[in-house]
């Protein structure tokens, strides 16, 4: 858990040699920092096998400009307004780049570009559109290290996750939907399904590039053109993606990216020129979008919050269940809409599971997101950190028992230690409200009926987990859970072929799989 190295707002694209030299210097500094280790010369209390820092090269992210405009009609353009926003490295709190706050005029310009591009793009044979998507997928694979490092710096999530989860899934989504582009007539939506037109897409900051892929890949495969607004704390990978669109030779105006905060998002989703709005984010914002679109012809799909139950029966494979609990709530610092934030554990194994969970949590490595051995990185923003703190404090105030492993958090940036609350009852705020952070609430149940009743007792319904070695119990439970995704004996597994979406206040519409095509087709 070394304090992260200070961020540089601007990094020049380095030569290979300079990068190597920088890495070597970092490695030497790391070696100097670590006392020479010998198997039998460790002081008591010190861990024998501490991992030396293994920092991924910050320079691998490529050049980060000091200032970014929008990407409209195949070109980088200055924003029409004067206002700019700043994206920071959450691990240090230091600024990375300035970017334009999109105005209504910028949005209008982008929607017009998308509208102009639509006839040409939608008239292309599916096989031709697929070529572009396959090309984008391959470029993403080729540039995956660069994108993984950039995502890590801009979002605060560990490089291990961007490298091993985000980027492979991003490429997989483009590959998957590229495959659909010339087979839409066989997708089950009629003989000649038509695209909708211009899709306005607003995505969150928790998986910036992955959410972009979830939105853009099916939209383009079905023949729509898009205007996408990335989140105001994580615009950099979307802007880098614009470069990839250019590299792939994508026709102008097919993909447009307008940056900015919620005001830009509101202008985009309410724009009369869009035919389809796709939003992933908070339930509150989703509701306001639904309100503004009510009565219009604009289609809407929403992927909103969650408060997923992770049900552990007494016959669960305990070691793997503990891994699933950890993955469910500490993956991406718990900033996952489908996070398993409510652990429902059968009372007869509560103590055993909690002991194993705490032991496992003590091995989580919290710190520099660029270190290849980091498990839990930084919280995305000061505002999010404040919300997590507020809810965690409310949990304590309402009488739940709070526990975190000993872990030294870096002095600068936004950090929150992995936390578990036991003795949580259904009336506590931490059992009802989405925390969107590395905070687990543990409740108990006695019978399968009670487990299902408690799991469903939430306004949300995005995901759920079931842990038992008994197959019939998995089926019985899954059939009764009102959640869009039910994982059994695993958690947080994503695949482009599998539809994802919510019940109730978690939204409507599905993304991924064959089902994901429907949201972008006139059916």
Does 317 help bind other proteins (rule: CB under 8 A)? Answer: yes
Figure out which of the listed residues 10, 31, 348, 457 binds other proteins, where binding follows CB under 8 A: 31
Q: Give the whole-angstrom CA distance, residue 149 versus residue 296.
A: 41
Q: Detail the DSSP E strand segments found in 64-208.
A: 67-68, 70-72, 75-77, 84-89, 94-100, 198-202
| Segment near other proteins (CB under 8 A); pick from 3-11, 24-32, 131-139, 193-201 | 24-32
Q: Report residue 9: phi and psi, to 5°.
A: -65, -35
Q: Are strands 419-422 and 401-403 parallel, antiparallel or unpaired?
A: antiparallel
- Contact segment (CB under 8 A) with other proteins among 43-51, 74-82, 175-183, 395-403 equals 43-51
Catalytic pick from 146, 303, 434, 518?
A: 303
Q: Are strands 198-202 and 225-229 parallel, antiparallel or unpaired?
A: parallel
CB closer to other proteins out of 284 and 469: 469
Q: Which of 5, 80, 490, 498 binds other proteins (CB under 8 A)?
A: 490
Inter-residue contact 222 to 216 (CB < 8 Å)? no
Among 38, 123, 191, 294, binds other proteins (CB under 8 A): 38
Under DSSP, is residue 485 helix (H, G, I), strand (E, B) or coil? strand
The answer to whether the CB of 336 falls within 8 A of the CB of 485 is no
Dihedral sign for Cα atoms in the order 184, 185, 187, 189: positive
| Interatomic CA distance for residues 190 and 188, integer angstroms | 6
Q: Per CB under 8 A, which of residues 437..476 are in contact with other proteins?
A: 469
Q: Which of 316, 366, 430, 483 binds other proteins (CB under 8 A)?
A: 316
The answer to whether 128 is a known catalytic residue is no
Q: Give helix 208-221 / helix 144-155 axis angle, nearest 10°.
A: 130
337 is catalytic: yes
Among 13, 362, 386, 523, binds other proteins (CB under 8 A): 362
Cβ 339 vs Cβ 328: under 8 Å: yes
For 97, the token pair is 């780049």
- Considering only 10, 15, 34, 425, the residue that binds other proteins (CB under 8 A) is 34
478: contact with other proteins by CB under 8 A: no
Determine phi and psi for 475, rounding to 5 degrees. -65, -45
Contact present, 519 and 299 (Cβ < 8 Å): yes
Tokens in use for 47?
């861990």
SS3 55: strand
Catalytic residue among 146, 151, 232, 337: 337
Q: Does 20 bind other proteins (CB under 8 A)?
A: no
* Closer CB to other proteins, 73 or 314, in the complex: 314
Q: In this chain, which stretch among 14-22, 83-91, 313-321, 513-521 interacts with other proteins, using CB under 8 A?
A: 313-321
Q: Is the dihedral of CA 78, 84, 87, 92 positive or negative?
A: positive
Q: Does 320 bind other proteins (CB under 8 A)?
A: yes
By CB under 8 A, how many residues form the interface with other proteins?
39
Considering only residues 30, 124, 394, 474, which one is a binding residue for other proteins as defined by CB under 8 A? 30
Which among 44-52, 71-79, 89-97, 212-220 is the span making contact with other proteins, rule CB under 8 A? Answer: 44-52
Binding flag, residue 128, other proteins (CB under 8 A): no
The only residue of 16, 43, 49, 295 in contact with other proteins, by rule CB under 8 A:
49
Interaction site with other proteins (CB under 8 A): 27, 30-31, 34-39, 42, 47-54, 160, 164, 315-321, 323-324, 355, 358-359, 362-363, 372-373, 469, 489-490
Just list the catalytic residues. Answer: 303, 337
């Amino acid at each position: 858990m070394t304090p992260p190295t200070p961020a540089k707002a601007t990094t020049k694209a380095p030569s290979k040699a300079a990068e190597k030299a920088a890495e070597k210097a970092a490695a030497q500094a790391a070696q100097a920092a670590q006392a020479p280790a010998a198997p039998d010369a460790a002081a008591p209390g010190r861990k024998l096998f501490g991992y030396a820092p293994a920092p991924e090269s910050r320079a691998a992210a490529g050049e980060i400009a000091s200032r970014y405009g929008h990407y409209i009609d195949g070109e980088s353009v200055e924003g029409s307004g004067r206002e700019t926003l700043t994206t920071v490295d959450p691990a240090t709190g230091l600024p990375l780049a300035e970017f334009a706050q999109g105005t209504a005029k910028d949005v209008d310009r982008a929607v017009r570009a998308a509208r102009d591009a639509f006839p040409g793009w939608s008239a292309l044979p599916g096989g031709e559109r697929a070529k572009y998507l396959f090309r984008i997928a391959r470029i993403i694979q080729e540039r995956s290290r660069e994108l993984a490092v950039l995502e890590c710096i801009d979002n605060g999530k560990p490089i291990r996750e961007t490298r091993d989860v985000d980027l492979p899934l991003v490429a997989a989504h483009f590959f998957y939907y590229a495959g659909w582009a010339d087979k839409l007539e066989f997708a089950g939506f009629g003989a000649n399904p038509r695209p909708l037109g211009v899709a306005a897409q607003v995505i969150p900051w928790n998986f910036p590039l992955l959410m972009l892929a979830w939105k853009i890949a099916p939209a383009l495969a079905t023949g729509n053109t898009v205007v996408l607004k990335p989140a105001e704390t994580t615009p950099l990978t979307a802007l880098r993606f614009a470069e990839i669109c250019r590299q792939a030779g994508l026709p102008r105006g097919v993909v447009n990216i307008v940056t900015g905060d919620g005001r830009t998002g509101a202008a985009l989703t309410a724009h009369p020129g869009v035919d389809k709005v796709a939003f992933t984010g908070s339930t509150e914002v989703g509701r306001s979008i639904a309100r503004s679109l009510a009565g219009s012809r604009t289609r809407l799909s929403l992927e909103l919050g969650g408060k997923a139950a992770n049900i552990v029966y007494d016959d669960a494979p305990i070691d793997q269940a503990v891994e699933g609990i950890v993955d469910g709530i500490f993956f991406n610092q718990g900033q996952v809409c489908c996070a398993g934030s409510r652990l429902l554990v059968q009372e007869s194994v509560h103590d055993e599971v909690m002991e194993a969970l705490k032991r496992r949590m003590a091995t989580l490595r919290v710190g520099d997101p660029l270190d290849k051995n980091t498990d839990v990185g930084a919280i995305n923003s000061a505002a999010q950190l404040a919300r997590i703190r507020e809810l965690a404090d409310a949990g304590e105030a309402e009488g739940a028992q709070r526990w975190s492993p000993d872990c030294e958090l870096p002095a600068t940036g936004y950090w929150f230690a992995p936390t578990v609350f036991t003795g949580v009852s259904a009336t506590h705020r931490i059992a009802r409200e989405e925390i969107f952070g590395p905070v687990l609430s543990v409740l108990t149940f006695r019978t399968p009926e009670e487990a299902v009743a408690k799991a469903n007792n939430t306004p949300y319904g995005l995901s759920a987990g079931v842990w038992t070695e008994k197959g019939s119990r998995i089926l019985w439970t899954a059939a009764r859970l009102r959640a869009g995704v039910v994982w059994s004996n695993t958690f947080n597994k994503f695949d482009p072929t599998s539809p994802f979406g919510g019940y109730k206040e978690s939204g409507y519409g599905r993304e991924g799989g064959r089902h994901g095509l429907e949201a972008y087709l006139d059916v």
